[in-house]
Every structure is written in C-alpha cells, then in structure tokens.
Chains A and B, each alone.
Chain A
Amino acid sequence: MTKRDEFFDSDEFSGSGEERRTRELLATLRRDVSAPSELRSAVMREISSARPPVWARAVSWWIQPHPVQVRPAFAGLALAAVIAVVALLPRTERPVVGTAGTDAVGVVTRFVLVAPEASSVTVTGDFASWNQQGIELQDLRGTGIWTTDVSLPPGVYQYTFIVDGTEWRTDPTAVSQVDDGFGRANSVVIVSPEGAA
C-alpha cells in the first residue's frame, strides 16, 4: 500500500482540504424538509386496514399533489439568502445610529447576525471607539435575526459582535476577518460612497 493510500485510509484524512471541500459543496444541497400531514394519515390508514394494492397507493400520491414543504436550512448559501432578505428590508422606518465627530456624509450600513439563542446582541468597532457596550441590535420579530443600521462615513472598518454581553463573535457574512493582533479576529466592513459591502 503506497503512502498515499495509507493517508486516505487514515483518520487524519477526514480533516483534509478535499474532505472540507466535499462538505462545503454538499452543504449547498441542504434543506429543511417537512412532510405533509397526509403522509402520516396515509401510513396509519394502510397499517390499520388491509393493504391496498401497490398500484393504488402509488397513484394516490401522483394525482393528489401534497406538497412537501422545503425550506432553506440556516446554513451556507441559504444563510446568504436570509441575509439578502434582511438587507432588502426598507430602511426608512428603522432608527439609524449616527457616528459622532465626523463631517463626512454617512452611508447607512446594516449589520446582521443570526443568533436565535441570544438574548442580546451589540456591535462595536472602529466606528464606535471600541466601546464595551457597543451599538444594540434588534431581534427581528423574534426570529433570532438581529440587525441594526449605522450611518458610517465611507471607509474600511473593523468590528465585532458581542453576544449576551460576554461573547465576542465575528460576523460570518463579513467580507473579511483579520487578526486583531491580540489573539482574536475582527470582522471587516467596506463602506463605499452610496453603498456598503
């Protein structure tokens, strides 16, 4: 057995780049699947009475469509879809936090964190003088999607979320994560004139 075969057969292979790539690729197919209520009743009917002929059973699904509810799972591309939804929500009715001490025209920049388990989320960073409290995010109708809009002069900023007042969490949707020099990572947001990324 060559060294290559030994590697592929070993448990270390499960941490390799190809394994990770496979995981990421297949994750794009992930969905939340919900069976229609009719499935349970069909099963119970069948086991409670004499078994109908196979052809009859098959036909019932084909001629009476009972749609399977397929929703994107909160992972990978589907997460990007969630963020895209929130990013497209109208901004006018939401309070916008301004940043002090600047003359430049601000661009409204939305921060989003999906954290269903959290009871509070704030964001802090360059634009907030790394204030410990940070700027509060609001939970969107109890969905666990936390957002806030901040008016920022165009530029590049480092920031991080603070979950439940104690946990420093980077933004998985940020354009970049950088080493903060202190052993942690900061997320990066690029605020362009007329828009943000």
Chain B
Amino acid sequence: MTEAPDATLVAKVLAGDIQVFGHLVERYQDQMLAYVIYMGFSETEALDVVQESLVRAFRHLKRCGDPNRFDGWLFKIVSNVSKTHATRAARRRTEPLESYGSTIEATQVRPDEAAEASWAREQVRRALDSVPHDQREALVLMYLQDLSVSEICEVTGASASAVKMRLKRGREALRQELEPLFEEVPEP
C-alpha cells in the first residue's frame, strides 16, 4: 500500500477510506517541512503551516485536477498557506539558527570550522530572507528542492517566463546582499 502511486491513494481516499490519507501525509511531510523551513519559518511555525496545508489538501481533495500530479497540487497549497503566514513569521524571526542542524554539527565539527561554516550559512540565510517572497520561493524550489522550471510553474501558478524572471531577480538580489560583506582587501 505504501508503494502505491499517488493517484491510487487519492482515489481510495475519495472513495471514503480516510485512513489512506495518512500514507500521503508520510510521503510528503518531510519535503513540505523542508520547503517551509527553507522559506524562513521556525520549526514550530513550519509544523503549523504543514499541518494546515495537509488538512486543507484533504478537505479539497476533489479539486485536485490530475491525481497523478498530486504532489504539484499539494505544493501549491503549502505555497499559498505559507504565503499567508509569511508576514507573521517574518516579524517573529528572532529565533537563533539552531534549527539548521547546528546541534549535531557543533558537537562534531572542529571549533574554527564550525564558526566559519555557521557564519557563512547565517549570511546566506539572511540574504535569502531579504529577497522578496516570490523570488525567494523560486530560488528555494529550484536550488534546494531541485524542481524544474515547469514544476515550479505548476506549484506557483506562474508562467515559465515569470518563473525565470523571478529566478534571475532572486539571484541578483542574493548577490547584492552578499557582495558588500566580502569587499576585496585594498592593495596599499
């Protein structure tokens, strides 16, 4: 059952077997959580967003046009839900960056390496957070979730040229944010 394609599971749920939805939850919850965390939410908020998204997906399952593309449709939902939560989250981003695995890394990596590595990550995280939502989403979906341009179109509902423009602008915004931090040491 857990190996059955999405379309089969969706059909069973629509036929009334609610418990089968649990398999879909397990299949996609990690990926959804990762997306929301990459977009800048804290762990706690991310759990909230993902739960709300999954519940919404269940309630609107009939509206899923093509059950074979359930994943794209599901991600569209989590994209929308996280967008509505975004303002609240941005204002609450005072949490330290321990949510990015440093608990594990701090005990295993040499001190000087951890300092440089987490400093670098912190700069990239800050830069990414400062990029406008749509561009940040395009960057996350492409570079952290490995989606293709057409898959990103499916999730965001934007056209291919719009997605490419968001990627281009997002890259430029990242570069602008990070470049001033790495000024060349001047020659005497």
Give A42's nearest chain B residue, CB to CB: B51
Q: Which residues of B contact A85 (CB under 8 A)?
A: 108-109
Instruction: Give the contacts of A61-112 with B (CB-CB under 8 A).
Output: 61-62, 65-68, 70-72, 77-78, 80-81, 84-85, 88
User: Which residues of chain B have C-beta atoms less than 8 A from A30's C-beta?
Assistant: 144
- Asked if B108 contacts A84 (CB within 8 A), the reply is yes
Flag the segment in A33-41, A114-122, A125-133 that touches B. Answer: A33-41
- Per the 8 Å Cβ criterion, residues 14-48 of B in contact with A are 18-19, 21-22, 25-26, 29-30, 33-34, 37-38, 43-44, 46-48
Nearest B residue to A72 by beta-carbon distance? B101
- Given A29-B125, A46-B51, do A84 and B34 touch, yes or no (CB 8 Å)? no
Residue of B nearest to A35 (CB): B29
Size range of the chain B interface in the assembly = 35 or more
Is there an interface contact between A68 and B55, defined as CB atoms closer than 8 Å? Answer: no
CB distance from A21 to the nearest CB of B (A): 8
| Residue pair B38, A29 in contact (C-beta under 8 Å) | yes
User: In the complex, which residues of chain B have a beta carbon less than 8 angstroms from the beta carbon of A31?
Assistant: 34, 37, 100-101
Are A46 and B113 within 8 A (Cβ)? no
Q: Interface-forming stretch among B3-11, B64-72, B171-179?
A: B171-179
**Per DSSP, are chain A's interface residues mostly helix, strand or loop, or mixed?**
helix
Majority secondary structure of chain B interface residues (helix, strand, loop or mixed): helix
B185 part of interface (Cβ distance < 8 Å) = no
Partner of A28, one of B29, B99, B124: B124
| Chain A residues proximal to chain B, CB less than 8 Å | 8-9, 13, 18-19, 21-23, 25-31, 33-36, 39-40, 42-44, 46-48, 51, 57-58, 61-62, 65-68, 70-72, 77-78, 80-81, 84-85, 88
